[in-house]
Structure 1
Amino acid sequence: MLEEAKEWLSRRSWEAADRPLPQLLDAKRAAGAAGSISVVLPALNEEATVGAIVETLRRDLMEDVPLIDELMVVDSGSTDRTSEVAAAAGAKVVHRDEILPRVPTVQGKGEVLWRSLLATSGEIVCFVDADLRDFESRFVYGILGPLLTEPDVQLVKAMYDRPLGDNPGGARQGGRVTELVARPLLNLHWPQLAGVVQPLGGEYAGRRSLLERLPFPVGYGVELGMLIDTLHLAGLDAVGQVDVGVRKHRHQDGQALGRMAAAILRTAQSRLPGSVMPIRLGLTQFERTDDGGFAPQTHPIDADERPPMATVPEYAVRRAA
């Protein structure tokens, strides 16, 4: 299986520069309605970065080159000025709770991505994390390229270097959960996916016809779950990846990464044959106390998954309309 992954790596990996913007625009026009594109930024307290991302995408890929049809920020309950900054920069802003209000919302990135399928209209949907710094539009047009020019590709992941902070010595030290959890899991249980450079990366695009058939883990397991489910549903050659350079973003502390790792492990285990897992999990971590001891804190790891959006009645009605 690892040989298959290596062979896939050579056939399904590209660079953003391989498909210049004029070529993509021609391909989009030739595709007609099937080439319509929505870009979604899930955002929670990202007022410091979301505006610059929206401004760049609107300028480069809507005004200078009309590649994107819809640019949406889905606010996941921010307590800062994320919504105001995003709207001022030119995005359509929708609050998570306004989408499918009959279904109570839960916290989690996957929850927001799942609901965004109902709120958007493009036949190609591109997701971009809202905490990126020094953002460039190739992060988006790079991963859109294969979907506009390769009919059999259905899901495209961005790949990149992930520096850890601004220290030159940490040039490739970001992505700690990827290297310690996700990559070993894929190599052990889904070796066909061993060639995916950034399996947990938040920048990827997919055809709606695929995304609407996938379950969405509500939390941090969404990216890994999507990869595994796409492999099972559409096959390895439905997946591609594009090198977009360097990704700079906010890094979380070790305990937060531990909670993320637990959610990803839970998502992976639930996809192993014969696995039976409890819906609610807890992760116990420890804090040093003032008296020199350790105090346990148990954090819930929500393992809920949303059903494929194609099974939601409101979605079917909207698509029919």
Structure 2
Amino acid sequence: MLVQESWQWHVSWVLVRGREGRAVTIKTFLGSPTDGPQELAAVKRASTTPLGALARVSVVIPARNCSRTIQGVVTPVVEDLVAAGAVDEVVVVDHDSVDDTASLAAGAGARVIRFSAAGPIGEIPDSGKGAVMWKGIWASDGDIVVFVDGDHLRFDSSKVSRLVGPLLRDPALHHVRAFYDQYEGGRTTEAMARPVLSLLHPELAGLRQPLSGEHASRRVTLAGLVFPVGWGTEFSILDQISRRHGASAIGQVDLQYKQHTKGDWAHISLQAFELLYVALRTELRSQGRELPEHWGNVVMTPGERPGEVVQRAARTAELPPLTSLPEWADRERERLRS
């Protein structure tokens, strides 16, 4: 591993072998002087879009029944980064919560979007996190879109700052994903994502937490991607960006720790199935092939009684690239006028 400094960042260059045997560089950002709100705001004021306008940053938080945690995620971003001009807006996409998630998020300073009323498509059957993210991109106004999970038990604004900084400074980057030194999760990562990446995308093997819910991307990049409606979307973003722009367009940044609520094992099984389904579908498509007809989309998990099997349908649908929609051009003109 070769370590060097760039832009006063502490950057680790992780060298791995790509699909064709060539060395691929994964940029790993370990720390930056732009972690603070004022410092990031200064860099942002000096950054422009290809059209010459000042770059805007949106933080999008997919949330469902996060009343316990949502204020603790929104408030630091609003009070630190929005107040300093480092972030332009915080958008919470409320995915049909039955608790006080929406009102608490609005009270903390977020713009709350109701999932079923957002975007060019209203109801999306069997919608999951991918569909919420897709609508969040549509609803946001930023040239850089930062996704943050809404279920953090402990959160601070530097987690957003560290994701945004590399994209403002390095035009070659399209996507920056978080990793954590202290994290008790990652069960799906180690059991499914890392083996699949090693098999299909060895050029991404240097990513520490490829399924992290905290990441930032250029809007134009996200708008050109297909979005699986379920859990496979985090993997799919990496897959598509790597195929289109190369692994060197993807970086990772150390956010130090993550504490959040965790799902049960049945949830993990479903998440892993949806990831594997998306990975195989994309790989077969790249070869001009379709999924075999006999492949199912139901996950079998043990029930409460011995011998009992519970069937859970996986979400295998996908949403088209936003750029392919007739309404997208009007949406972008509206955004640029605002």
TM-score between the two structures when normalised by the length of structure 2? 0.86
Corresponding residue SS for 2:76:
helix
Counterpart of 2:90? 71
Cα displacement (A) at 1:82? 0.4
1:280 and 1:302 in contact (8 A); partners too: no
Residue deviations 1:121-168 (CA, integer Å, cap 9, x gap): 11110000000111011110001010111111110001113533xxxx
Counterpart of 1:2? 16
Counterpart of 2:7? none
Equivalent position to 1:118, from 123, 134, 138: 138
Counterpart of 2:101? 82
Q: Which runs of 5+ in 2 are unaligned?
A: 1-14
Corresponding residue SS for 1:320:
helix
Counterpart of 2:12? none
1:16 and 1:138 in contact (8 A); partners too: no
Distance 1:102 1:264, change over 3 A: closer
Tell which deviates more after alignment, 308-317 or 193-202.
308-317
Equivalent position to 1:104, from 102, 109, 123: 123
1:50 and 1:86 in contact (8 A); partners too: yes
Residue 276 in 1 paired to residue 296 in 2?
Answer: no
Distance 1:16 1:6, change over 3 A: farther
Q: Distance in 2 between matches of 1:23 and 1:93?
A: 28
Equivalent position to 1:40, from 60, 71, 93: 60
Q: Distance in 1 between matches of 2:54 and 2:208?
A: 28
2:24 and 2:248 in contact (8 A); partners too: no
Counterpart of 2:307? 294
Corresponding residue SS for 1:72:
strand
Distance 1:162 1:265, change over 3 A: farther
Q: Distance in 2 between matches of 1:159 and 1:300?
A: 30
Residue 55 in 1 paired to residue 75 in 2?
Answer: yes
1:47 and 1:82 in contact (8 A); partners too: yes
Distance 1:163 1:237, change over 3 A: closer
Tell which deviates more after alignment, 275-284 or 133-142.
275-284
1:46 and 1:82 in contact (8 A); partners too: yes
Equivalent residue runs for 1:172-187 within 5 Å: 174-187=185-198
Corresponding residue SS for 2:97:
coil
Counterpart of 2:29? 14
Higher helix residue share: 1
Q: Distance in 1 between matches of 2:149 and 2:54?
A: 24
Corresponding residue SS for 1:116:
helix
Q: Distance in 2 between matches of 1:18 and 1:6?
A: 29
Cα displacement (A) at 1:34? 4.8
Q: Distance in 2 between matches of 1:227 and 1:197?
A: 13
Counterpart of 2:251? 240
Q: Distance in 1 between matches of 2:226 and 2:303?
A: 35
% identity of equivalent residues = 34
Cα displacement (A) at 1:72? 0.6
Counterpart AA for 1:204:
H
Residue deviations 1:15-69 (CA, integer Å, cap 9, x gap): 2435343442222111243520010000000000001111111111012x21110
Cα displacement (A) at 1:288? 2.8
Counterpart AA for 1:2:
V
Counterpart AA for 1:29:
R
Cα displacement (A) at 1:103? 4.3
Counterpart AA for 2:195:
P
Counterpart of 2:152? 132
Counterpart of 2:332? 319
Q: Distance in 2 between matches of 1:37 and 1:84?
A: 23
Counterpart AA for 2:278:
T
Residue 207 in 1 paired to residue 218 in 2?
Answer: yes
Corresponding residue SS for 1:272:
helix
1:2 and 1:194 in contact (8 A); partners too: yes
Q: Distance in 1 between matches of 2:182 and 2:264?
A: 16
Distance 1:98 1:296, change over 3 A: same
TM-score between the two structures when normalised by the length of structure 1? 0.90
Cα displacement (A) at 1:316? 1.6
1:162 and 1:175 in contact (8 A); partners too: no
Distance 1:318 1:7, change over 3 A: closer
Cα displacement (A) at 1:3? 3.6
Distance 1:240 1:284, change over 3 A: same
| Cα RMSD (Å) | 1.9
Aligned residues: 306
